[in-house]
Amino acid sequence: MWGYGLLLTMTYMSYTMAVGSAMEGTNNEYAMDVLLITLGVQIGSMFSDYFWYIYLVIPAYVLFFGGRKVWGLFFPQGFGASDESKEGGEQVSKRMAKLEKRGLHQRKMM
C-alpha cells in the first residue's frame, strides 16, 4: 500500500513540475527524467519487486552532480593538476590567438 502511495506521489509531482515548466518555457529536463524513471518503476514492479531499487538512481545522480559542483568549488583547477598541463594550455591559447589574428586579417582583406 505504501509503495502505491509513493508511486502516485512521485508521478503527480514530476508530472506537475514537467507540465508547469513547459508552460513557463523553462527547462523541464530533470522533471521529465524523474517522471520516466517513475513510469519505468511502475511497469517493472509488475514483474519483480527488485525494480524499486531503480529509484536509487535519482539520489545517486544528485550526489554525483552535486559532488562535482562542490569539488569544483574547492579545487577549481582539478585534482592533481600539474605545471605541464598549465604550460600546454598556454601554448594552445597562443596558437588560437594566432589563428584568430589570421582569420580576422583575412576577413578585413576581403
Please tell me the pTM assigned to this model.
0.54
- pLDDT of 1: 66
29-44 helix and 57-74 helix, angle to the nearest 10 degrees: 150
**CA atoms of 58 and 30, how far apart (whole Å):** 10
- pLDDT of 78: 62
Residue 105 reports pLDDT greater than 60 = no
With a pLDDT cut of 90, the percent of the chain lying above it is: 0
Residue 49 reports pLDDT greater than 60 = yes
**CA atoms of 74 and 44, how far apart (whole Å):** 40
Residue 63 reports pLDDT greater than 70 = yes
Name the band, by pLDDT with cuts 50, 70 and 90, for residue 97.
confident
